[in-house]
Structure 1
Amino acid sequence: MQMPNNNPANQKLPLQGAGGALRLAILGAGESGVGAAYLAQQKGYDVFVSDFGAIADNYKKQLQDWNIRFEEGGHTEAEILSAVEVVKSPGIPDKAPIVKKLIEANIPVISEIEFAGRYTNAKMICITGSNGKTTTASLTYHILKNGGLNVGLAGNIGKSFAYQVATESFDYYVLEISSFMLDNMYKFRADIAVLLNITPDHLDRYDYKLENYAASKFRITHNQTAADHYIYCADDAETLKVMEGKTITAQQLPFSIEKTIETGAYLDKDNIVINIHQQHFQMSITELALQGKHNLYNSMASGIVAKVLELRNETMRESMGNFRNIEHRLEFVAKISGIAFINDSKATNVNSTWYALESMSSPVVLILGGVDKGNDYGMLKELVRQKVKAIVCLGKDNKRIHDAFEDDTEIIVNTGSAAEAAQIAYHLAEKGDTVLLSPACASFDLFKNYEDRGRQFKDAVKEL
């Protein structure tokens, strides 16, 4: 079903000014920045890419192949401050000196999503939340693609949105949107906005205030009209708290596993039920590919999107039953000597680790640690007492983990590499146990990113 998109982000900027093409500067040369550079070049801008750090070889080659000017290892301020607009990669905080100077100079700083949204009339399905957004975005894409829709998957996942806008012609996009992306989105509009949950995460970027982070997440509803849809978790206390002070214009579609929902999704005994404008869908939770309490929420959110787009029940049932979860999210690695190894490296906050532990049915040796983003480990203590026989720390500074759990588990050991962590966890575990890598922390102290951490762990398990 094709639905019209009157996205305000589609307003085009003038491409020509006095003296030729307008300068667009791009900060950061990762997937997001390089994709934005390519699209900007296609649209006639004079593009300059600047990365304060080193640029990965594959991205450098792309920029060279496209004849796009770039620099690495620092910022040439005169080049950047001569831009009419700057596209900032989501990982760069507003407190970075160059960003402060741009703001002082009244030069607009926007996200790649905001920029790319101007150049497509596709319908936008935008998914955010502290936990579950990658799984939900991937499942939603899977259902829509199987339903025959011409759909792309982008945002915080896969090829950048901007690059796909430049090279593809999709009617729909499923976008996984982080709070960092939302912070620099202004005119962009989500036709369908999904907010899964709000739990403390990235508080170092939000003055250590949950209300600031929550306000960022709620930007997913900005610019929505009465023709749009806002899908949210009716069981999430923080979401409901923020909604009390908000006027939401879009049609609201809640989901819950705790109460019956008239228009939206809910759990009826062992069945997911979705009711939307006479559209009815029901499926046994035992048939869902994604198991565990947290995945009921993810499946409900994806199912509501599919019903809004009027996909057939048969397509939904088949897709929700055969979906394979993403790499690094509760990914089964191997069973060795009766010990299961699970890679949940994508769990970069405490709440994600809580969900992982909650879904475990056997004794756990938990691999935890990395860059602590102001974590409150209190919510894990009860589950650690119930399920965790040992904690293996994987990080440079593990003091806060020791302090948090010294009374809750007998064994806490430190390791400095994925190989060492896997080896020690293997020796601490017994037949029937699970070794769970679910770090609750970012990975940048020992690894390039959470993918690198997950892959090193999987390689280490295969060497056991």
Structure 2
Amino acid sequence: MFTPAAHELPGMRVLVMGLGLFGGGVGAVRFLAKHGARVTVTDLKSAEQLAESVRALEGLPVEFHLGAHREADLDACELLVISPAVPPDNPFLREAVKRGIPVETELNLFVKLCRAPILGITGSNGKTTTTALVEAATRRMGGPTWLPAPPGCFDRPKRVWVGGNIGRSLLADLGDIQPNDAVVLELSSFQLENLAAIGRFPAAGLVTNLQPNHLDRHGTMEAYGNAKKNVLRGRGSVGIVNADCPVVGKWLSTAANPLSFGRRAPVARGACLSGGWISIADSGDAHTILPTSALRIPGLFNVENALAAACASWVLGATKDGIAQGFAEFRGCEHRLESFGTWGGVSWINDSIATNPDSTLAALRTLSQPLVLILGGHDKGLPFEDLARAISPRCRAVVLLGAATAKIGAALETAGCSVPVDRAKDLREAVAMSASHARSGDAVLLSPACASFDQFRNFEDRGKQFKAFAKEATAGRAEVEEMIAGAPRTATA
């Protein structure tokens, strides 16, 4: 892949393929236009579907060709910048490669041009929460750490920048990011696959876990795992892995400076539990940071996320007090076990980020009340058998929707599901059906175990629509007993 220097961009004809709704496409367009490139955007989605991203680019000299990819757009193209969601076998991309057009991605542009060391965070589940926890822990840099000196190349950075797949492009900030800063990026398997093509990897990498996901893109677990492992392949890198994960735990030797975290497995150097406290282990000593009871986010999986984030924050040179205060104040991320209201004694919980069965299983294990579960969406080629077996003991009813309805329904039938299973034509109907099943003391949980792209722009759109439909469906039944304003709140176990 080819990266032009900033002074080469003025007048260069650049085609951005895939504007999307997660910020990466918008960030790439802004960066390129700011540096004088002649930018055209092509996307299969319509202007109406991409309205939010199109509005974000108002006032910039950008041409939009939406609704289809037109080969004529490649005729004058000097650089093609693709979304990470574009698969390698995409016909339009293949035509560009055939013509000899240089290809780049938003993330690859950033990694090549960034002057500060990068810590990448990836994994099948938990990477967004882990990244957000690191951001919270590193807001207060400076002062005594009361921790052993961290390994690696992060020498107490002046500022920590956070972006990537969490929904924040840092391309526009390149001019402000200094060599003595640090960058934390949440990275998807798609982004890491593209990084491998240029042989550029983060200075430090963290893998939360590895479970079946995105098999519709990668084909096999081996290929999916290899993409994730790229985060650990930097020369002289610090690698942080989950010692409790049977797959990822074996990757410890991949990195030059290995660290680990875990609730159960022994940790020689990294983050562990010590007497119910999140602690940093180093040379046989455990340096306690805060008790797990101080975390506001529920579930054992979030204890693992906190351990991962503590280890990463230590590598970044965060202070003990900064980590403890940041974790204690962190209230969770929107769309991640987000409890947003209680009507008529029924709690409503938005877990739209759960795009694979293991995420939904984690939610079922974390919540204690009887559940009415909304499942379904775009099938990513994942098995539903384990989830199906867990439904009857935990749920009062299940409501299915989306393209994966038949596959999930078959898994439930094979598992001998003993609770009512409804099928809805859309999310509004699914919410209404769920409300009819729920009783006081129950919770209605949207935890789809599937991607959102069959009916929604993204998982955030799905979550926001769910919250709106819930308010609509429960209007008049009872006064709101609790409604969160401002920062999201996670459900309690």
**TM-score under structure 2 length normalisation:** 0.84
**Pair 1:371 & 2:382 matched:** no
Compare 426-435 and 41-50 and name the one that shifted more.
41-50
CA contact (8 A) 2:2 2:103 kept: no
CA contact (8 A) 1:10 1:119 kept: no
The residue number in structure 2 matching 1:230 is 239
The residue number in structure 2 matching 1:255 is 261
Cα gap change, 1:280 to 1:238, in 2 (>3 Å): same
Cα gap change, 1:42 to 1:199, in 2 (>3 Å): same
Q: Select which of 192, 211, 216 maps to 1:204.
A: 216
Deviation digits for residues 349-400 of structure 1, max 9, x if unmatched? 1111111111011221111111111121122134223212211112255111
**Pair 1:426 & 2:435 matched:** yes
Cα separation, 1, equivalents of 2:63 and 2:227:
33
Cα gap change, 1:260 to 1:42, in 2 (>3 Å): same
Q: Select which of 39, 42, 51 maps to 2:34.
A: 42
Q: Select which of 72, 94, 98 maps to 1:104.
A: 98
CA contact (8 A) 2:43 2:68 kept: yes
**Pair 1:28 & 2:40 matched:** no
SS of structure 2 residue aligned to 1:101: helix
Cα separation, 1, equivalents of 2:75 and 2:249:
41
CA contact (8 A) 1:10 1:120 kept: no
CA contact (8 A) 1:343 1:437 kept: yes
CA contact (8 A) 1:63 1:70 kept: no
SS of structure 2 residue aligned to 1:458: helix
Query: Which is bigger in relative contact order (C-alpha 8 A, separation at least 6)?
Result: 2
The residue number in structure 2 matching 1:339 is 346
SS of structure 1 residue aligned to 2:247: helix
The residue number in structure 2 matching 1:305 is 312
Deviation digits for residues 133-183 of structure 1, max 9, x if unmatched? 111111111111233652332111233222333677692322111111112
Cα gap change, 1:141 to 1:165, in 2 (>3 Å): same
SS of structure 1 residue aligned to 2:381: coil
Deviation digits for residues 226-268 of structure 1, max 9, x if unmatched? 2x31111111122245x38xx6243111111112211012223
Cα gap change, 1:76 to 1:446, in 2 (>3 Å): closer
CA contact (8 A) 2:289 2:321 kept: no
Amino acid of the structure 2 residue aligned with 1:203: L
CA contact (8 A) 1:38 1:166 kept: no
Amino acid of the structure 2 residue aligned with 1:415: A
Cα separation, 1, equivalents of 2:339 and 2:229:
33
The two structures, once aligned, show a CA RMSD in angstroms of 2.6
CA contact (8 A) 1:345 1:439 kept: yes
Amino acid of the structure 1 residue aligned with 2:84: P
Cα gap change, 1:79 to 1:398, in 2 (>3 Å): closer
Cα separation, 1, equivalents of 2:209 and 2:14:
35
Amino acid of the structure 1 residue aligned with 2:396: K
Residues 310-325 of structure 1 correspond to what in structure 2 (within 5 A)? 310-325=317-332
**Pair 1:273 & 2:265 matched:** no
CA contact (8 A) 2:335 2:351 kept: yes
**Pair 1:152 & 2:161 matched:** yes
Cα separation, 1, equivalents of 2:340 and 2:271:
33
Residues 424-463 of structure 1 correspond to what in structure 2 (within 5 A)? 424-463=433-472
Amino acid of the structure 1 residue aligned with 2:254: I
Cα gap change, 1:257 to 1:283, in 2 (>3 Å): same
Cα separation, 1, equivalents of 2:419 and 2:387:
15
Q: Select which of 370, 386, 396 maps to 2:393.
A: 386
Cα separation, 2, equivalents of 1:60 and 1:429:
40
Amino acid of the structure 2 residue aligned with 1:119: L
Cα separation, 2, equivalents of 1:150 and 1:157:
18
**TM-score under structure 1 length normalisation:** 0.89
**Pair 1:184 & 2:194 matched:** yes
Cα gap change, 1:280 to 1:237, in 2 (>3 Å): same
Amino acid of the structure 2 residue aligned with 1:49: V
Deviation digits for residues 416-450 of structure 1, max 9, x if unmatched? 23332222212212222221110001122222221
**Pair 1:174 & 2:184 matched:** yes
Deviation digits for residues 283-335 of structure 1, max 9, x if unmatched? 21111222211111110111011111222211111111110111100000212
CA contact (8 A) 1:63 1:69 kept: no
Cα gap change, 1:231 to 1:70, in 2 (>3 Å): same
Cα separation, 2, equivalents of 1:426 and 1:61:
36
Compare 262-271 and 211-220 and name the one that shifted more.
262-271
Aligned length, in residue pairs: 448
CA contact (8 A) 1:396 1:416 kept: no
CA contact (8 A) 1:15 1:22 kept: no
**Pair 1:52 & 2:44 matched:** yes
Cα separation, 2, equivalents of 1:204 and 1:396:
14
Deviation at 1:28, TM superposition (A): 1.3
Compare 384-393 and 141-150 and name the one that shifted more.
141-150
Deviation at 1:220, TM superposition (A): 1.3
Deviation at 1:218, TM superposition (A): 1.1
Cα separation, 1, equivalents of 2:371 and 2:8:
61
Amino acid of the structure 2 residue aligned with 1:216: A
Amino acid of the structure 1 residue aligned with 2:308: A
The residue number in structure 2 matching 1:4 is none
Cα gap change, 1:59 to 1:424, in 2 (>3 Å): closer
Residues 340-359 of structure 1 correspond to what in structure 2 (within 5 A)? 340-359=347-366
SS of structure 1 residue aligned to 2:200: coil
CA contact (8 A) 2:116 2:177 kept: no
Cα separation, 2, equivalents of 1:325 and 1:460:
22
Cα gap change, 1:10 to 1:311, in 2 (>3 Å): farther
Unpaired runs of at least 5, structure 1: 1-8
SS of structure 2 residue aligned to 1:145: coil
CA contact (8 A) 1:128 1:217 kept: yes
CA contact (8 A) 1:81 1:102 kept: no
Q: Select which of 79, 86, 90 maps to 1:92.
A: 86
Deviation at 1:462, TM superposition (A): 1.8
CA contact (8 A) 1:36 1:116 kept: no
**Pair 1:195 & 2:207 matched:** yes
SS of structure 2 residue aligned to 1:237: coil
